[in-house]
A = this chain, B = another copy of it.
Amino acid sequence: MPAREHIERPTAMYRAVAARVAQDIRDGRYQPGDLLPSEADMVAMYGVGKHTVRSAVAELRTMGLVESRQGKGTIVLGGGALPATVVERSISRTAKGIWGVPQMEQADAPAVSRTTLDGPAGALLDQVDQDAISVDRVLYDPSTGARAAHRTLIPMATTADVPSLAQTPDAEITELYHQLAQAGLTLTFTDRITARTPYPDEQAALRIPDASPLMITYRITSDADTARPLLCEELKTPAALCQLDYPVTPTRAPAARAPRRRTRSA
């Protein structure tokens, strides 16, 4: 057992209350689905002020252990279990230029618009401030109801080389890949994954439970010969509802990996 440097907090009552209740949840004294004692009850139970209890419960909420509902109470959530929906991130190739991508159902028709590339997607495409076609979809898993936001970004520089992309940008992703392959390009794919706390609009659109992070995946499609990025898929999934699944295929090359370390661009 390694010496664990325990950081002693200068006693904060609300943290102590939160830790106590959290332990009670882990010990099973409060079962998932149960209601916690009401704020008034906890004020009496622990002999502290209402504000202290509220801060403690807020702590439990941001820890993802409970969820509060006005007029009803504070519900204990099931802790530790993996999210139900598994998002397959593999790509299969049935024939030359024919790509298979596991997909979720679409909630609505895709929304096509013209945007300027900025932020992470622009940086990864190496096309900051350049124009692109943006195709937005809301995906969902019928069996669990989990929602995800999908965006395809097609830089205008790519449509210049492969004009057919601009004709039907809202086609299936596999079709876009097919068109790129038919233009004589050899495709390689890289996924870049990060996570953050969702914005309020994302929280509403994807029905994200309280305090659950958002996982964001950028799939960059590049040309193998020139290493030039051609296309970007952005997928936003609520971490509480989705896992990502990657089959890791060993590469035979002796790991000729350039140490490409991204520097903070803003």
Contacts and interface: CB of A to CB of B under 8 A. Distances in A.
A264 to B, nearest CB: 5
Interface in A78-123: 78-86, 88-94, 99-100, 102, 108, 111, 113, 119-120, 123
Given A102-B255, A113-B1, A247 B188 contact: yes
B264 A81 contact: yes
B136 A2 contact: yes
A191 B100 contact: no
A29 B169 CA distance: 36
Nearest to A188: B247
Contact of A90 (B83, B99, B257): B257
Nearest to A249: B249
Interface stretch (A38-46, A157-165, A238-246): A238-246
A194 B260 contact: no
A35 interface: no
Contacts of A240: 196
Interface in A220-266: 239-240, 242-255, 257, 260-266
Given A102-B255, A188-B247, 8 more contacts: A1-B113, A2-B108, A80-B266, A82-B194, A93-B251, A192-B245, A194-B244, A196-B213
16 contacts: A1-B113, A7-B204, A81-B265, A84-B263, A86-B261, A86-B262, A91-B251, A92-B250, A92-B254, A99-B250, A100-B255, A102-B255, A190-B245, A191-B248, A193-B244, A195-B239
Interface of A: 1-2, 7, 19, 32, 62-64, 78-86, 88-94, 99-100, 102, 108, 111, 113, 119-120, 123-124, 136, 143, 188-197, 199-200, 204, 211-213, 215, 219, 239-240, 242-255, 257, 260-266
Leading 8 A-B pairs by shortest Cβ distance: A213-B213, A195-B239, A189-B248, A249-B249, A92-B255, A193-B244, A195-B195, A191-B246
